[in-house]
Amino acid sequence: MPVPLAPYPSPTVPFTPPQNGGQSQLVCSGCRNLLLYPLGATSVCCAICSVVTTVPAPGNEQKPSS
């Protein structure tokens, strides 16, 4: 006899991205892939290698070398 599946629980607080849609980017410290993150984040977890990269403070970003 099949067992009915339970529905996924609804999240208690829905995720709401910043209203201005502001995003920035940095390079993953593990695999060197480009990571996009919302402004105001303090760290970003890479979806590829799972390494957590700390977001530099505003004004401390490194310019890409050409």
pLDDT value, residue 40: 86
Q: Is residue 1 part of a domain?
A: no
Q: Is residue 10 part of a domain?
A: no
Q: Is residue 37 part of a domain?
A: yes
Q: Is residue 8 part of a domain?
A: no
Q: Is residue 35 part of a domain?
A: yes
Range of the domain at 42: 23-54
Q: Is residue 49 part of a domain?
A: yes
Q: What's the CA gap between 44 and 37, in Å, rounded? A: 7
Q: Is residue 50 part of a domain?
A: yes
pLDDT value, residue 19: 60
Q: Of residues 3 and 31, which shows the higher confidence score?
A: 31
pLDDT value, residue 9: 73
Q: Is residue 40 part of a domain?
A: yes
Tens digit of each residue's pLDDT (9 = 90 or more) over 19-57: 666 889 999 999 999 999 988 899 999 999 999 999 988
| Count of domains observed in the chain | 1
pLDDT value, residue 6: 75
